[in-house]
Amino acid sequence: MLDPDIGGLHTPETILGNVTPCGSAYGDSFTSGFESEDGEGWVERLSLTLGCRIVNYSVGGYGIDQAYRRLERIHDGSRFVLLGLDPNGIMDVVSQYDGWLGGDQVPFALKGRFVITPSGRLNWIGPPRLDADGFVALNQAPSGSLPESYFLPGTQDGAVISRFPYTLTLARVALMPSIRAFLAGHTEWSALYHADHSSGALQLMVAISEAFARLARARDQRPLIVILPVSGSFRENTTFDQFEYVALVNELRRRNIEVLDVGPAMAAASGGRLACGYFTRQDTGFAAWLRSPVPCGGHYSGRAHALVAQLVKAELLRRKMLVR
């Protein structure tokens, strides 16, 4: 969740020199190719098979809100722009602190977030600037420091606050919506894709995706949003015959935003448990039982990267996105 407000960005000149790429890619670790060998990620494979340079601006841990903000700052003149979106990123767009989602409780886990104003516009709320005392206060009284962040501890979807009697604490954990969803075969974030969810996460995902596409078009670039299902997505699809993010895909298409969902093609090419061949970690024992019928996780394997590159290439050609 490194926030773009905390520096670390480069200008196009420092990255590209005088070379204009044919395309660029934004997203998180599923787009950056984390856990794959150098040059083996799907973006790099795509670049090789197209015979032109695609610059990968993805950053592990970024939400699509942060990817959009990075696009705002980088204009490299490429013909097309890819936004890789893995479904659990819907949690990031309404959250400002990874420490409440199971991550390390450290200051650099803070981020900003967008909210939708009553007029329907996106408004960016930056992360708070905290000293040591302020960071302690953040963890002691979360709502006072991050009032716009979802998953606040003690709320319906937030972390359970441990207090005496501890048997009630355990009961609250067991009743958490994300725990019940997981045990039923859903992903912990499935409910956030419901249009009536109290977080408004689906509407925010759509608005950010639309803003990303609008900015790219204003620069005479063709945008393509690529949905990259994670292992939990395949588990849900195997159990319920539908990916959890289908409402997002449908809404993007309804708004004429160019989107490629590689999930159905990947599922068709794998079949059932073989979907684990798409991931780097294979679960065993109790973990495998919990994640059945797709007992695996981690990032994409070489097999997955190769297939995604193939699917994206076919889509770029179909949409004639390689020409001005």
- Between 294 and 166, the higher pLDDT residue: 294
298: left (phi over 0), alpha (psi -120 to 50) or beta: left
Distance of alpha carbon 100 from alpha carbon 110, whole angstroms: 10
CA 185/CA 178 separation, integer angstroms: 11
309 has a pLDDT exceeding 50: yes
How many C-beta neighbours within 10 Å does residue 252 have? 21
106-113: average pLDDT = 85
Whole-number pLDDT of residue 207: 98
259-261/113-116 β-pairing: unpaired
Question: What count of other Cβ atoms lies within 10 Å of the Cβ of residue 60?
Answer: 16
Top-confidence residue, 154 or 267:
267
Contact assessment for residue 113 and residue 96, using Cβ atoms and an 8 Å cutoff:
yes
**Predicted TM-score (pTM) of this structure:** 0.88
* Closest among 98, 133, 134, 95 to 114, alpha carbons compared: 95
Picking from 261, 251, 246, the residue whose alpha carbon sits closest to that of residue 206 is 251
- Distance between CA atoms of residues 261 and 271, nearest Å: 17
pLDDT of residue 128: 84
Q: Any idea which of 194-203, 265-274, 310-319 has the lowest mean pLDDT?
A: 265-274
The encoded tokens of residue 324 equal 């001005």
Question: Any idea which residue has 């953040």 for tokens?
Answer: 138
Predicted confidence (pLDDT) per residue in 135-150, tens digit: 888 878 888 888 899 9
Indicate the range of 182-191, 196-205, 292-301 predicted with least confidence.
182-191
